[in-house]
Structure 1
Amino acid sequence: MSRIPMSPFKALTFTAASAFALLSAPAYAQDTASVDPITAAFTPSTAPNDHRIDYSIWDEAMKNLVISMGPSLRQTAGRPDQSFGSRRQYGHVSRYRLEGSRIMFSFLDADVRASFGEYRRDLEATADKVDIQELSRNEQLAYWINLHNVAMIEKIAEEWPVRQPRSIEVGGVPLDDAKFITVEGISLSPRDIREKIVFANWNNPKVIYGFWRGDIGGPSIQREAFNADNVSRLLDRGARDFVNSLRGTQKSGDTLQVSELFEEAAPFFFDDFNADVRGHIAEYANSDVMAILDQTSDIEANISEYDIADLAGGAREPTYQNIEGADGNQKSFRIPQSMARLLAQRDEKFRRIIREGRTGTVTFSNITLPGDPEDKDANEVE
């Protein structure tokens, strides 16, 4: 097995906080004459090799860059107080601000911001060294997810401070549709990677949860890079986090309210929207969400939150305060008041999780289930 190394990524330091055929090809038959050229160009090979791409640099970056807000308690966060000495509301005010994960854009200097573009180009160049389509399906999926997320972080970091990532344009084109990514000479947008490559060539809807959109309302970004060995596990983690959060599912009378992302993915995964989304959610639902499924019959995709998934709310606040440790001693650095308030709310949430015994998850892998084909890899997810 050969491994393709990536060039070094500039260090990130902050003072604030596989299997072959992971997912089978689409169940529906495609008329080759009607297949989008991008989909056709990046359709996975049926005879993959065993090459691997080394994402250790990006993995280290994620551990330094991402802060988890912890599992959802399915309770909305009330509107925060105004910043001291100001009538303006700084920081996050979203009712979902204690869900998902956050990227610390406000701590990035110019060199680190430039590193994202450098690493994105390194990933693009990897396709000049190896045919992406010839890799195992797990390896390909990890590549596309990492490339998508690196590109999103790069462009948001360049534009920060920005309140909503969807307002960003690249060359006059909205970020999601801007073709600033080039793989094997083909220009791609983040949406192209999601829909024309991954959604079109994988048939398990859990791939939705690998792609970070930059906003609070979308799936969480993970604190580790995707690779062929962990991609299934990380997608399952992302699915459980999202499905069991308020930004994923809510109840209104007899209606199951779900994220708008499910409607976006419907043409690929949810032909019978009500039945298929319910079935998908049931795979990952905890007892609270299972109760919602049992108590509702209609479905509506109307949940969204477009505010940026960072710590500062996409703005530079002029007022700061010192951070105190658990022993009451002041630290030697200061952060905006709104960020300190958010981190204090996060800390209280984690204390409550511990008090109520909501910690821990169990993940099963490397097991063979009854009915699995003899040649199926133990990590394969169909």
Structure 2
Amino acid sequence: MRFFANLFSALILLVATSADAGEETYSRFLDTFVVEQGPGVTSVRYGEVTDKDRDALKAWIESQAVAGPPEDRDAAFAWWVNLYNAVTLDVVLDNYPVDSIRDIRFGFGLRPGPWREDLVAVNGEAMSLDDIEHGTLREEWDEPRVHFAVNCASIGCPALLPEPFAAETLETQLDTATRAFVNSGRAVQVDEGGDLILSSIFQWYGEDFGDNDRAILDWLRFYAEGDTAAMLDGRRKIDGYAYDWSLNEAE
């Protein structure tokens, strides 16, 4: 009887320890491999991720997918963003080295990138990255700042934060991520000819920001500071869009 009692106690301790460790796994991964390159810019040390690190990330994704999102709305929003970003890291690592996430192909390889592929099963339901971003986050939350929280592993994308999103800090994290991207030099640029060029995010998802040039520019002005605010001053028209799909890899 003592043997079984000791075994049961050991199993309980193992489960508890694993759960605690699991909660820290994604945070530790970001803290270890995400590098801040400057204001609003981060990159990832993909080449330094070991097999052990990859296995731990995969196990964390699986544990989250089995558990499913929490009921609290802020906690659920943070959970879905973290899952999206972790799955993106995972699919890049599975195909690394790669110059761009758009070079990753599945099946017959007709579509660039992994966004429409079923990559994770949440509560038993197969889901793609598009399902998470567009079918869940954008569908269930009226929150345009989601575009600065999810990360597509590209230089042109808003920065991957070096910490997970969390319910208790969600508003601050969303505001910080949005303000950082808007003022990073990737959201707003003026080319040599004087044309105003925005990130393609504002073309792809224009309806989330007002769906016309003036509304989008007003939305940007709310967050713009310094040089970015100066570039937007007096502008009423967007002249073009640009996006850098190169992998956000730390050199």
TM-score range normalised by the length of the shorter chain? 0.7 to 0.9
Counterparts of 1:121-140 in structure 2, within 5 Å, are 121-127=62-68, 132=69, 135-140=71-76
2:32 corresponds in structure 1 to 64
Question: What's the offset of the Cα at 1:254?
Answer: 5.9
Question: What's the offset of the Cα at 1:215?
Answer: 0.6
Q: Distance in 2 between matches of 1:301 and 1:8?
A: 46
For the pair 1:203 / 2:142, whether they are aligned, the reply is yes
For the pair 1:235 / 2:174, whether they are aligned, the reply is yes
Q: Distance in 1 between matches of 2:20 and 2:107?
A: 27
Question: What's the offset of the Cα at 1:71?
Answer: 1.2
Contact 2:67 2:123 in 1 (8 A): no
Q: Deviations over 1:286-334 (max 9, x none)?
A: 12111111142211452110111111xxxxxxxxxxxxxxxxxxxxxxx
Q: Distance in 1 between matches of 2:19 and 2:174?
A: 23
Q: Is the alpha carbon distance of 1:172 and 1:8 closer, same or farther for their aligned partners in structure 2, counting shifts above 3 Å?
A: farther
SS of the residue corresponding to residue 21 of structure 2 reads coil
For the pair 1:8 / 2:21, whether they are aligned, the reply is yes
SS of the residue corresponding to residue 208 of structure 1 reads helix
Q: Distance in 1 between matches of 2:224 and 2:210?
A: 21
Structure 2 counterpart of 1:104, from 29, 45, 51? 45
1:294 corresponds in structure 2 to 233
Q: Is the alpha carbon distance of 1:246 and 1:147 closer, same or farther for their aligned partners in structure 2, counting shifts above 3 Å?
A: same
Q: Is the alpha carbon distance of 1:283 and 1:190 closer, same or farther for their aligned partners in structure 2, counting shifts above 3 Å?
A: same
Structure 2 counterpart of 1:151, from 81, 84, 87? 87
Question: What's the offset of the Cα at 1:270?
Answer: 2.9
1:261 corresponds in structure 2 to 201
Q: Deviations over 1:100-151 (max 9, x none)?
A: 1011111112221222222111110111xxxx3x612110110100000110
Counterparts of 1:1-382 in structure 2, within 5 Å, are 6=19, 8-9=21-22, 55-71=23-39, 100-127=41-68, 132=69, 135-172=71-108, 174-252=113-191, 255-267=195-207, 269-311=208-250, 339=251
Q: Is the alpha carbon distance of 1:187 and 1:172 closer, same or farther for their aligned partners in structure 2, counting shifts above 3 Å?
A: farther
Q: Distance in 2 between matches of 1:120 and 1:171?
A: 23
2:12 corresponds in structure 1 to none
Question: What's the offset of the Cα at 1:256?
Answer: 2.6
Q: Distance in 1 between matches of 2:127 and 2:234?
A: 42
Identity %: 22
Contact 2:195 2:240 in 1 (8 A): no
Amino acid in the other structure paired with 1:167: D
Q: Distance in 1 between matches of 2:50 and 2:28?
A: 17
Q: Distance in 2 between matches of 1:179 and 1:250?
A: 35
Contact 1:176 1:190 in 2 (8 A): yes
Q: Deviations over 1:140-183 (max 9, x none)?
A: 11010000011000111111111101111244563111111111
Question: What's the offset of the Cα at 1:277?
Answer: 1.5
Q: Is the alpha carbon distance of 1:172 and 1:181 closer, same or farther for their aligned partners in structure 2, counting shifts above 3 Å?
A: farther
Contact 1:7 1:122 in 2 (8 A): no
Q: Is the alpha carbon distance of 1:172 and 1:233 closer, same or farther for their aligned partners in structure 2, counting shifts above 3 Å?
A: farther
- Stretch deviating more after TM superposition (295-304 or 243-252): 295-304
- CA RMSD in angstroms, aligned pairs only: 2.0
Q: List alignment gaps of at least 5 residues for structure 2.
A: 1-17
- Structure having the higher Rg: 1
Q: Deviations over 1:204-238 (max 9, x none)?
A: 31121110100110010011111101122111111
Q: Between Structure 1 and Structure 2, how many residues are aligned?
A: 230
Q: Is the alpha carbon distance of 1:272 and 1:114 closer, same or farther for their aligned partners in structure 2, counting shifts above 3 Å?
A: same
Amino acid in the other structure paired with 1:136: D
1:361 corresponds in structure 2 to none
Contact 2:197 2:238 in 1 (8 A): yes
Contact 1:104 1:310 in 2 (8 A): yes
Q: Which has the higher helix share?
A: 2
